[in-house]
Amino acid sequence: MNRKKLNILHTTDLHFNKQWFEWIANQQENYDVFCITGDFLNDSKDETLLEQIEWITIWMKLFKKPLFVCSGNHDIEELENEDWLNKISNVYSDNSIKIIDGVKFGCIPYIAPDFIEFHECDIFLYHLPPSDTKTSTHNKTNKDWGDKELSKLLRKNILSPKVLLCGHLHHPISTIDKINDITIYNTGVDKTNLIPNHHIIQI
């Protein structure tokens, strides 16, 4: 018998926009799994990074559905507390590997990622898109913000997840691209929107 598909909501780079966090929490009845690929914090907000961490920690602890997250470059700036995401008990964060309904998720850390450890995962969460893709290339400057090592491992079929969820680049040429049979999602960011850019993925 075919299993029911998982409905996954993916978003990224929330940069402490509380309205976006609250919108995500209000979607819990609509999706099975939630994935957020880094950059939760924003050092230009009125709140200190520690205050932001405290608020986000409470938000995550109240989350009822499976929540997968990975760190981004903005999440490690509070150096005394750079592993704060891993201290939140009920979310799957950096270096977590977890199976939900037969789908294996892997959360790859921003600092010193060991991609090979996640080779059995169906879905990767990693802040940086793989380089040389439309998801890693800026839509105005054409600068490539992607991860070269990850790109190489995917193109050589050393790693072959079904889906790669990423972020980092706010204005990619395209929010979806492919390497071989791997679909890459970077939702991008539109700060003027009342809700965060997001993808809904069925697997």
Helix (H), strand (E) at residue 190: none
Say how far apart CA 141 and CA 129 lie, in whole Å.
17
CATH assignment of the domain containing 15: 3.60.21.10
Tally of CB atoms within 10 A around 139:
13
Give the up-direction half-sphere exposure of residue 89: CA atoms within 13 A in the CB hemisphere: 2
Q: Which domain holds residue 25?
A: 7-202
Pairing of strands 7-11, 182-186: unpaired
Residue 1 lies in a domain: no
- Predicted pLDDT at 159: 98
What's the domain count of the chain?
1
Say how far apart CA 182 and CA 162 lie, in whole Å.
5
pLDDT tens per residue across span 137-186: 999 999 999 999 999 999 999 999 999 999 999 999 999 999 999 999 99
Please list, residue by residue across 32-57, b when 16 or more beta carbons sit within 10 angstroms of its beta carbon and e when fewer do. Answer: bbbbbbbbbbbeeeeeebeebbeebb
Residue 187 lies in a domain: yes
pLDDT under 50 in the chain at which residues?
Answer: none
- Predicted pLDDT at 4: 86
- Predicted pLDDT at 1: 57
Instruction: Report the Cα 139 to chain-centroid distance in Å.
Output: 20
- Predicted pLDDT at 118: 98
- Predicted pLDDT at 77: 82
- Global pTM reads 0.97
